[in-house]
Amino acid sequence: MGSKEPHKPRAKPESPPRCPRCAYDQSGEVARWKESCPLEGVCTECGHVLNWAMVLCPEKYNLAWLPEHATTWRGRMWRSVKLMPRVSFFPRKFWRATGVDARVGAGGLVVYALVAILLPRFLMAIMASLDEFLALHSPSPWGTLTFGGAMTHFAFNLALPRSSWGEPLELGWVFAALLMHLSFGAMFLVLPDTRKHAKLRFAHVARSVVYGITWLSAVELLGALVALGDSVDWFGDFQIAGIWLSYRVENFYINGWPPLLAVVWILAWWRGAIVNGWKLHRGVWLWLLLSIIALIAGLLGMVILTFVRMLFQ
């Protein structure tokens, strides 16, 4: 009997080269090359100008600051924290840097979503509870608060969006703004003249939806500033600064600036995605149309939520 050859593990098949915009398989185009690889090409499906080096070796063109391109979970978390200010203040630069050529990674999107939602909520809960905890060492009437009571208050602050003065924040406009933001992504999935007509991968829409929740994080961080101002009040040397900080941010809430800024930011974010990042045909007009529909969806959501509240009162 002849000796059997040792079992050789099958090599993992390489994924075919695909257009970063529409995910069309470019294997046929690559097979036509005879002597050398051209520097650029054009996708026959969507017309996107291809950088063949990025198509064939996308991992060599990873962005050093993007959570999706980090190789470890710790790296994704750290990049997410550092990216939040950049997304908040420079959405157009974000989309110009990523466009449709930057590789989309599901792991990085999940980590960024968790960090953007949980980190500001955790910071606000700490700041809102610090006031009660410091009361243990003050001569105020609240000085009888126990450590367990402070921790209970922290858990309550963590569960509910609260301001430093102890009343739950009005969630009607937050729900309306969130519905408005999600409406943009939904319309790219259900309307035939949006994503399908633009031949845009679903992954790019998902990226915009995930990074676009940064406005909600900014609202939470403003709440943390309110609580920080009240906490600083317990220290005599910083009492004036604490009162000023708390007063300024509380007035920012009371005067209704967060809803207005959230709407403006969401509109600017999706304009950056549609016009600067994806560079869709007639992008400005498409953005205006989707903006009108999203604004109507947000207003309807707020009306429905108000009606539901009236039913349960």
pLDDT over 70 (residue 141): no
pTM: 0.77
Helix axes 106-134, 73-89, angle to 10 degrees: 80
| Paired tokens of 284 | 């400005």
**Integer Cα distance of 267 and 257 in angstroms:** 16
- Structure confidence at residue 293 (pLDDT): 92
The pLDDT, as a whole number, for residue 46 is 83
Place 75 in a pLDDT band, splitting at 50, 70 and 90: very high
Give the pLDDT of residue 1. 41
Better-predicted residue by pLDDT, 99 or 246 = 99
Average pLDDT score over residue span 158-175: 54
Instruction: Encode pLDDT of 185-211 as tens digits.
Output: 888 877 655 556 667 888 999 999 999
pLDDT band, residue 5 (cuts 50/70/90): very low
**Alpha carbon distances (Å) from 224 to 125, 249, 268:** 8, 10, 25
Per-residue model confidence as pLDDT tens digits over 250-298: 555 555 667 788 889 999 999 999 999 998 888 899 899 999 999 999 8
Q: How would you write the chain as a 3-class SS string?
A: CCCCCCCCCCCCCCCCCECCCCCCECHHHHHCCCCCCCCEEECCCCCCEEEHHHHHCHHHHCCCCCHHHCCCHHHHHHHHHHHHHHHHHCHHHHHHHHCCCCCCCHHHHHHHHHHHHHHHHHHHHHHHHHHHHHHHHCCCHHHHCCHHHHHHHHHHHHHCCECCCCCECCCHHHHHHHHHHHHHHHHHHHCHHHHHHHCCCHHHHHHHHHHCCHHHHHHHHHHHHHHHHHHHCCCHHHHHHHHHHHHHHHHHHHCCHHHHHHHHHHHHHHHHHHHHHCCCCCHHHHHHHHHHHHHHHHHHHHHHHHHHHHHHC
